Amino acid sequence: MAFSGCYVIATYAHAVKKGDFSKFRDLYVGKSESVGASIHNDLTGKGNVDVYADAKYKQHMYILIYPCAPDKLDELEASLITALDADQSYNKA
């Protein structure tokens, strides 16, 4: 997964049932020129500390990946944060 793009790590209180992903507890939008490495870092404590805590305490997590050109990373990240209200969660300013 050594490609550029954005990703969303969503945390849920319970496993998702019937494909309803709308009831997430928290989420994080990240961007990277190497998506796989950044996701790995977030899940192993070398990235977002809130995401790491969720992984450490075995919360139900789902990861969505949005590949894009490196010059579009900032634009895509901002769009995802706005669309998902991630600035009310782990993307607080």
Count structural domains, the chain.
1
Domain that holds residue 48: 5-87
Kindly report the CATH number assigned to the domain that includes residue 74.
3.40.1440
What is the token pair recorded at 83?
């669309």
Contact 28, 48 (CB under 8 A): yes
What does the pLDDT look like over 63-82, one tens digit per residue? Answer: 999 999 999 999 999 999 99
Average pLDDT over residues 23-28: 94
Give residue 7's pLDDT band: very low, low, confident or very high (50, 70, 90).
very high
* Residue-level pLDDT at 37: 97
**93 lies in a domain?**
no
Residue 19 has which token pair?
A: 């494909």
> Residue 64 in contact with residue 76, Cβ under 8 Å?
no
From residue 19, alpha-carbon distances to 16, 22, 62, 64, 81 in Å are 6, 9, 12, 14, 22
User: What pLDDT was estimated at residue 47?
Assistant: 95
